[in-house]
Amino acid sequence: MSNNTNKSSQYRRIASLKNIGEFKSYVQQLGIDLPTDEELATPVNSPFVKPYKIRDGFVIGNRFCILPMEGWDGTFDGQPTDETIRRWQRFGLSGAKLIWGGEAVAVRPDGRANPNQLLINEKNIEALRALREELTVHHLASSGRTDDLLVGLQLTHSGRFARPDPDKQLKPRTLYKHPLLDAKFNVDTKRALLNDEEIEQLIADFIKAARLSHQAGFDFVDIKHCHGYLGHEFLSAFERPGRYGGSFENRTRFLREIVKGIRETVPELQIAVRLSAFDWVPFTPGEGNIGQPEFTNNYNHAFGGTGATGLDLTEPLAFLRLLESLDIELVCISAGSPYYNPHIQRPALFPPSD
């Protein structure tokens, strides 16, 4: 029996469970205690349709949210294509009142995770403004109002997982030498490591991108800190020397300096953070294609983790308190990375396209 057959025989696809009875029976077979509702609440009684008021007084019209869903379908210079526009039109038609970043947009060319990822700069600002307008127009057509619609843009640098050029080769920028991921992704650490001066320039790039986002009409920006990309890697830079590594204060300096710069430049712009609240050691396929940890001893590169697969939420909770002190109310919690431990983040059938 092949590994693929073994893998497919382990668990049923969700789509094969045709009703609530089949679903309940199957999770019971797996020994999972998962309470379920026999019927969905009627729209008028659903908690999802209730509005939510954020601290600045804005009322988000319902609890439905669309998270960043990039399609890697922009042009090589980072502008939306017809496919991108169609996706954003459907975001608007969905009725969701919180568009969380809409799309992960790179703050500079070398930060793209795919050569077709969107890029924010002066050249592309009008295209991004038009993209947001398409969403708004279609939302108005389907929902009848837009004064309760909150639309953001997720700002990112892909760091270790950057593939910015048409050759689609990995061209990483990293913060420290990683004992497993450098070898796993064939990283040339001498070329990849960012120095403090380069980080300072990157902070300026994020602040500029936030200003451009505001000019394009977005209500907030998300400073991406999840899934192994550069913002997330700062949080695990325990062994990096200097101002951006080691202590919790140093490892959060990147975010704090970006927030400070945004508040000084465009104080009316809301700020959000999508966070991988914990991480584990990278996994590799084992017997039957079941994931196994690559390292089981003293692993010191997991924010919110301890050992290979343990949890220590001391720092994630401290990070949330930091966000509160920075008056950042919009926080989205994820975990891990689809590149090296996708099973703790989502039931992904396929790895990222990049």
What's the longest Cα–Cα distance across the chain?
61
Asked if residue 233 is part of any domain, the answer here is yes
Domain that holds residue 19: 1-39
Give the count of domains, the chain: 2
Residues 19 and 134 in one domain: no
Asked if residue 349 is part of any domain, the answer here is no
Residues 35 and 136 in one domain: no
pLDDT digits (tens, 9 = 90+) for 146-197: 999 999 999 999 999 999 999 999 999 999 999 999 999 999 988 999 999 9
Output the domain CATH number for residue 62: 3.20.20.70
pLDDT at 305: 93
Asked if residue 209 is part of any domain, the answer here is yes
Nearest to 240 by CA among 199, 292, 185: 199
Nearest to 271 by CA among 136, 131, 111, 155: 155
Nearest to 19 by CA among 37, 45, 43: 37
pLDDT digits (tens, 9 = 90+) for 63-98: 999 999 888 999 999 999 999 999 999 999 999 999
Residues 33 and 90 in one domain: no
Interacting residues of 68 by C-beta distance below 8 A, sequence separation 6+: 100, 101, 102, 103, 104, 154, 222, 224, 274
**Between 167 and 41, the higher pLDDT residue:** 167
Residues 248 and 99 in one domain: yes
Q: Is the pLDDT of residue 339 over 60?
A: yes
Q: Is the pLDDT of residue 144 over 80?
A: yes
**Between 347 and 256, the higher pLDDT residue:** 256
Residues 52 and 30 in one domain: no
Average pLDDT over residues 278-284: 91
The CA dihedral of 218, 99, 199, 177, to the nearest 10 degrees, is -170
Other C-beta atoms lying within 10 Å of the C-beta of residue 234:
22
Residues 34 and 140 in one domain: no
Interacting residues of 278 by C-beta distance below 8 A, sequence separation 6+: 302, 303, 304, 305, 311, 313, 316, 335, 336, 344
Average pLDDT over residues 60-64: 98
Average pLDDT over residues 293-317: 90
pLDDT band at 1 (very low <50, low <70, confident <90, very high): very low
First-to-last alpha carbon distance for the chain, in angstroms, is: 30
Asked if residue 350 is part of any domain, the answer here is no
pLDDT at 352: 55
Residues 152 and 177 in one domain: yes
pLDDT at 69: 83
Q: Is the pLDDT of residue 317 over 90?
A: yes
Contact 102, 150 (CB under 8 A): no
Asked if residue 328 is part of any domain, the answer here is yes
Residues 56 and 5 in one domain: no
Residues 84 and 6 in one domain: no
pLDDT at 298: 81
Contact 238, 181 (CB under 8 A): no
pLDDT band at 207 (very low <50, low <70, confident <90, very high): very high
Report which residue type is found at 171.
K
Residues 111 and 236 in one domain: yes
Asked if residue 352 is part of any domain, the answer here is no
Contact 212, 125 (CB under 8 A): yes
| Cα–Cα distance measured from residue 140 to residue 157, given in angstroms and rounded to the nearest whole number | 32
Residues 92 and 2 in one domain: no
DSSP 8-state symbol, 225: B
Q: What is the DSSP string of 121-181?
A: STTTHHHHHHHHHHHHHHHHHHHS--TT-EEEEEEE--GGG---STT------BSS--TTH
Asked if residue 276 is part of any domain, the answer here is yes
Residues 170 and 129 in one domain: yes
pLDDT at 349: 53
Average pLDDT, the chain: 92
Asked if residue 226 is part of any domain, the answer here is yes
Q: Is the pLDDT of residue 354 over 60?
A: no
